Amino acid sequence: MPSLARKNILFVCSRNQWRSPTAEQIWRNHPNYSVRSGGTSRSARYIVSMRDIQWADMILVMEETHKVRLTASYRTALNNKKVYVLDIPDEYLFMDSELIKLLKQSVNDILESS
């Protein structure tokens, strides 16, 4: 099977502290994806920027709230972007084994269907 162009995936949570950095770490070395992570809160370690939105082929947010915040800030830039809500609550620390399991299950389902 011929290799396809790498897909740019942006993972988003609130403070870019536990969930989205864990997702970025999981897929960091995947041959088919380039990944980044960011947060929607002003207190995020790294705040999602317009550049990130433009770069992304698909955006995976942890909660519906993150999608709402991105839409409020980047409505026009999101017009042709796929934004998926993973429904993963802020109950896990960075690289928590249960978080890794949830992320792999939900993200793989989306990646396989897209």
pLDDT above 70 coverage of the chain, percent: 96
Kindly report the number of other CB atoms within 10 A of residue 16's CB atom: 23
Residue-wise pLDDT tens digits, 62-74: 999 999 999 999 9
The Cα–Cα gap between 10 and 60 comes to 6
Domain ranges of the chain: 7-113
> 105: buried, middle or exposed (CB in 10 Å: 19+, 13-18, 0-12)?
exposed
Q: Is 2 exposed, middle or buried (0-12, 13-18, 19+ CB in 10 A)?
A: exposed
7-113 adopts what CATH topology? Rossmann fold (3.40.50)
Asked if 41 and 66 touch (Cβ cutoff 8 Å), the reply is no
* Residue, of 114 and 6, whose pLDDT is higher: 6
Is the pTM here over 0.95, yes or no?
no
19-68, pLDDT tens digit by residue?
999 999 999 999 999 999 999 999 999 999 999 999 999 999 999 999 99
Q: Which pLDDT band holds residue 104 (cuts at 50, 70, 90)?
A: very high
pLDDT at 4: 62
What does the alpha-carbon distance between residue 15 and residue 100 come to, in Å, rounded to a whole number? 18
Question: Where is pLDDT greater, at 3 or 67?
Answer: 67
